[in-house]
Amino acid sequence: MEVVVLFGALFALLILGVPVAYALLGAALACFAVMGIPPLVAVQRVAAGISVFTLMAIPFFIFAGDLMYRAGIAERLVRVADAAMGRVRGGLGLVDVGASMMFGAVSGSAIASASAIGSTMVPLMKEKGYPADFAVNVTVTAAIVGLLIPPSHNMIIYSAASGLGVSIGDLFLAGVIPGLLTGIMLMGTTWLVARRRNLPHGSFPGWRAFARALVFAVPGLMTAIIIMGGILSGIFTPTESSAVAVLYTVLVGVLVYRSLGWNSFWEAAGKSVRTAAMVLFIIAAATAFGFAMALLEVPQALGQMIGFMTDNPLLTLLIINVLLLLLGTFMDMAPLIVITTPIFLPVAMDVGVNPVHFGIIMMINLGIGLVTPPVGSVLFVGSAVGNIPVTTLVRTILPFYLTLVAALLLITYVPALSLWLPARFAG
């Protein structure tokens, strides 16, 4: 009965259009009322959900990503990618993917990447004769790569939700190869679609222009090197690295590029506070919801159900992936990480899956949900940037979806892609 109330209330509230955080908290309160648990417990769990030191990195990384956009780092990364790949057929699409990969390495946010790269690339591609649907589809799917290439604040959420103290540094390292692989696969798909649709190509500006663009982009790209280098050398923790990222971005924007003024700084601060508050409130509410699930032993029941279906590791991971893909179409990434990690991580570990590897599986799996209607937030950002309806985008996005799913399967069933790099540094 209590399980029906918990999930029934959640789905009812979501259908009514209640924001996700309030829906999660309302469902938890309804369940507590049926179970005779004082509402104060929900308040305690909400407070406990965000009283985690590592979560301090989230607002700083969000702030750093917004500052990078306003400091013109995204624009300079686009110039590098354009000089390198613009001459290929559909080259601006390849530029979009390459710039998204580089921006992901300094921001770690799919929404930030879709906004920053999209606002530059989509109008440019439309101006050069590319169809709007192609431009936006490339932009939104390439933005998912930013969830894998470190730093990624979603990996920090996963580490906290796991309850196992999964190393954030290991997660950051584990995402490098899968992120590069996914980006290369998306480039291949972009080129094939461009050939099939006979899209235009540019010309190579020369090595001098390429070198000049690269030199101007290096200060921005150094953000990722400083973050990972500092973490791996032990100079600062992953949480401290987020504050370092903000400080370094401010210095680059003010002293090097001279494109970041007080107005831009305060606008970025205000937007980041609102975004971080929303993300942290969702995490807090999801913690109360997760506590209710734990009381009702939902994770154990689901684990037993999957165990009855199969004890084969390959099939178990396939079932988990299908369930996560379905859930990702209806709920945003942050609450899903908090809710589903305690459910599926023990099941995955029972069949021998490393928790770091499983974290990377969750990143790309739930990232696909961000570009899948009806709740694909990155897809809607791309729709707004390109001024094109989501229904039009979905008609031609299938090749890019299939590429992301293929990358998900590779990452799932080839653990070495995720675990090789952390093992090298651990050794």
* Token pair belonging to 57: 């990195």
* Token pair belonging to 223: 């953000």
- Nearest CA to 400 among 153, 87, 145, 177? 145
| pLDDT of res. 426 | 66
Asked if residues 183 and 367 have their Cβ atoms less than 8 Å apart, the reply is no
| pLDDT of res. 368 | 93
Question: Amino acid identity, residue 82?
Answer: D
| pLDDT of res. 103 | 76
Q: Percent of the chain beyond pLDDT 90? A: 19
DSSP string, 232-287: HHTSS-HHHHHHHHHHHHHHIIIIIS----HHHHHHHHHHHHHHHHHHHHHHHHHH
| Main-chain phi, psi angles of 201, to 5 degrees | -135, 160
- Nearest CA to 153 among 194, 210, 104? 104
| pLDDT of res. 353 | 93
| pLDDT of res. 46 | 81
Integer Cα distance of 379 and 393 in angstroms: 9
- Nearest CA to 265 among 279, 248, 253, 278? 253
Integer Cα distance of 240 and 54 in angstroms: 9
| pLDDT of res. 205 | 65
| Cα 273 → chain centroid | 19
| pLDDT of res. 206 | 66
Question: Amino acid identity, residue 275?
Answer: T
H/E stretch holding 346 reads helix 333-350
What DSSP character marks residue 54? G
- Nearest CA to 205 among 112, 81, 301? 81
- Nearest CA to 146 among 218, 77, 216, 248? 77
Integer Cα distance of 104 and 291 in angstroms: 33
| pLDDT of res. 204 | 62
> What torsion do the CA atoms of 254, 255, 259, 263 make, to the nearest 10 degrees?
20
Integer Cα distance of 145 and 183 in angstroms: 6
∠ CA 163-65-17 to the nearest 5 degrees? 65
Domain coordinates of the chain in residue numbers? 2-426
pLDDT averaged over consecutive 10-residue blocks of the chain (427 residues)?
Answer: 84 82 87 86 80 75 77 73 68 80 73 77 80 90 88 85 85 92 93 85 68 78 76 76 84 82 85 80 81 78 77 89 87 83 89 94 93 80 82 88 96 95 79
